[in-house]
Amino acid sequence: MYPAPTQAVTELNRRRKDKALMRSIHEYLGELPASWPSDKPIATLNRYMATVRVEDIVFSYAARSIGMRPFWPTYLTEKYTATNAEKVSCLRPRVQRPKLQTSRGWLVDDQKHWVNSPLGSILVGDLSLQELHQQARRKVLDDDVADNVFDISDWNQSQAIRFGAKPGESRLAPYYYHGVMGLYVAHGILFEDFDGGPNEGNGLKEFVDATVIPAIKSVTAAFGLEPLIVRLPYCPGFLDYPSPCGPIFDAAIT
């Protein structure tokens, strides 16, 4: 599943020269997500919310080291749950502090109030949670990278319908993932670790087996090519926020 990074770039460039393939992908997807750059392929780290954890910093450098532009597609209509480590990390960031200290405080008074609410609707004072994390991104990431964010919520939902979801169906990922994987045949490279991460013991394997693998197999059958996925191996500390984020989060809750 995981080619070497430079091998993935070489293969991506080869595929993009195949006009028949590009037409087939367009027919398969119907359309690219709004704001997906169409001039050049991109590297993406797909998370519910774009932020600036250690994982994001590593991804940014890894993508640029192979000549790819890093982008963060978000899914802000996804609902907040208190059992998902990635989502909780956005509301209760573990921040590296001076003298090798860390802090882990809530950005909201009552996180239970936001359970089952769309992540994009969560407020921290007068700011949306995404806007607050965007401020942190601009503090830490380079100027040409920090704002490389776009939401694909509407596209995910339209792809779910395109691939068979019924109106009112609650679990859409098994459907829209067919479209998501289709993007990485020739429109970009996905950086991901489907074999580990903060949710490894909390349903990750079941999600991969029921949603990711069938989508990859479907795309491979359609094009005779696997989606291009470069492994970004999960490491302890990937959910940490670097120290420059501390004052931004502190100011939001005072």
Domain boundaries, the chain: 5-252
pLDDT at position 199, please? 61
Segments of the chain with pLDDT less than 70? 198-202, 254
Contact assessment for residue 213 and residue 252, using Cβ atoms and an 8 Å cutoff: no
pLDDT at position 167, please? 87
CA angle 49, 50, 56 (to 5 degrees): 125
In tens, the pLDDT along 136-169 reads: 999 999 999 999 999 999 999 999 999 999 988 8
pLDDT at position 195, please? 87
**Whole-structure pTM value:** 0.94
Contact assessment for residue 94 and residue 123, using Cβ atoms and an 8 Å cutoff: no
pLDDT at position 228, please? 98
Mean pLDDT, the chain, whole residue set: 94
Scanning the structure block, which residue is given the tokens 């502090």?
Answer: 97
Tokens of 96: 């590296």
In tens, the pLDDT along 26-56 reads: 999 999 999 999 888 999 999 999 999 999 9
pLDDT at position 201, please? 63
Burial 179-191 (b: 16+ CB within 10 A, else e): bbbbbbbbbbbbb
